[in-house]
Structure 1
């Protein structure tokens, strides 16, 4: 699944971006997590956080297919010809069984993103736990993402400004993370929660998108069972080396200013963007691309 025609080859994905590797820890005390990572806004990979979860032993595509059965799911694409330049907008709805059958076809880049466990498969809530790391979680809001070999989830961030934890089940994924103050170098338009989908992170792509060379990013490789802490407002993109299932658990914003931005995004920015998209269509997407390019040069 997934064409890499617009991106680096799998072994080189994101490698052209200036970066450092994310710390990897096992059995990290809450106090260490708080002072070294949460308060400094620094990502970290937990190598053992999920090992006692049922999901660590159960979660694979056949299991998820049985749990979701014939329920309808929204699917997404990174191909501009399919999504019109908006990879956050579903391109179609289909039965979950049909989607999982597509994962064996390399030419298909369709993904499931941010599927609410509570709405579609509440019976698997017992398969995971909320990390005991001193945070307040939005219970009932675990989200599933699924992607196939070679697919990429475009650079984006959470409008709810949550501290989040991404656990991977299946083949390896690679995550590129960028601090919010460097968002313009990812070609993210104003009033948007994702970069333009044509951005190419390969060495050749940097010639087309030179602002990428200004990034100082983090990279994390997640094997089966690994969990990545993604600090609030970090932008991140995900590359699937093979078929994988992601579980994202969100914690509430940790400061009043973050809570205010969260409400503003959800009550003002997102509705206005959707309205402009519905009224202006492709013209709105082209305008956002132009603004992203101009912004990257400042």
Structure 2
């Protein structure tokens, strides 16, 4: 028995009116299969091309170790040249990922390869980020600090995406003062005896292949698994629901600073305390 996951709806193409009516207003995810077929990136972007235009760049790398008092959520564990990283991706499975990296700022040439879709979202033009991963590498279950609307474009290979709406937070063992679920949970194969509240959660799943676009609504939880080596780009629009805008402001201007202070004071004891609270609170809410 696994998670209660529904396949994300798929469309080949979509108009602005259809997107707003069927997905943005009701806040439902969708995979758009041919949204970016007219981008140069659709033809050009693969690992060889990235190596060609950015091989000399030093890139930050993350692995799958749990967040602890030493490394923050978005603090890299090591770095290497992009050329070395691409070679590693091609050679063997690796847990090393590039996460939330503005390679487009470092390599302006890449900006010529894409444009902003006219889909009804007020997309932030200065915040396109790239994400890379080796076959089998995973990004833990989390949601974004600004609770934004996200268009996630995938290139080179295949990637599995598991999503949960904000309504399911109470079942996901959310860590207090953080944006993550308890990191011992393997959302691709969860132990539902150890994490019983997950049985009540209803989410979505989809596999993305080259050139497909995933729309993730405001504040959606997401966990990604690279089934093969590949990379993705995300472009975002700010949250538009008042409650989400307020939560985003709280996260950005208070929560992350409070957590950083407590890390400095309490170290790993603070991290362990938060993880224990995640289990106690979730099980108590759900009568386990």
Contact map agreement 1:16 1:201 (CA 8 A) in 2: no
Deviations 1:1-53 (CA, angstroms, capped at 9, x unpaired): xxxxxxxxxxxxxx821111111012212112111111111000000011111
Contact map agreement 2:69 2:268 (CA 8 A) in 1: no
Match of 1:34 among 3, 12, 20: 20
Contact map agreement 1:112 1:146 (CA 8 A) in 2: yes
Alignment length, in residue pairs? 284
Match of 2:232 among 246, 253, 258: 246
**Pairing 1:48–2:9 present:** no
SS in 1 for 2:256: helix
SS in 2 for 1:78: coil
SS in 1 for 2:192: helix
TM-score (norm: length of structure 1): 0.88
Match of 2:265 among 255, 273, 279: 279
Equivalences for 1:147-162 in 2 at 5 Å?
147-162=133-148
Contact map agreement 1:177 1:235 (CA 8 A) in 2: yes
1:129 positional shift: 1.4
Aligned residue in 2 for 1:209 = 195
SS in 2 for 1:57: helix
1:149 positional shift: 0.5
Give the alignment's Cα RMSD to 1 decimal. 2.1
SS in 1 for 2:23: helix
1:253 positional shift: 1.9
In 2, the alpha carbon distance for the partners of 1:105 and 1:206 equals: 35
Quick check: 27-36 or 229-238, which moved more? Answer: 27-36
Aligned residue in 1 for 2:176 = 190
Contact map agreement 1:85 1:285 (CA 8 A) in 2: no
**Pairing 1:69–2:59 present:** no
SS in 2 for 1:248: strand
Contact map agreement 1:176 1:219 (CA 8 A) in 2: yes
Aligned residue in 1 for 2:246 = 260
Match of 2:82 among 96, 107, 118: 96
1:55 positional shift: 1.0
- Change in Cα spacing, 1:206 to 1:87, as seen in structure 2 (3 Å) is farther
Contact map agreement 1:53 1:128 (CA 8 A) in 2: yes
Deviations 1:217-245 (CA, angstroms, capped at 9, x unpaired): 10111111000000010000001110111
- Change in Cα spacing, 1:168 to 1:268, as seen in structure 2 (3 Å) is same
In 2, the alpha carbon distance for the partners of 1:138 and 1:81 equals: 28
In 2, the alpha carbon distance for the partners of 1:106 and 1:129 equals: 33
Unaligned runs of 5+ in 2: none
Unaligned runs of 5+ in 1: 1-14
TM-score (norm: length of structure 2): 0.91
1:100 positional shift: 2.2
Aligned residue in 2 for 1:116 = 102
Quick check: 118-127 or 238-247, which moved more? Answer: 118-127
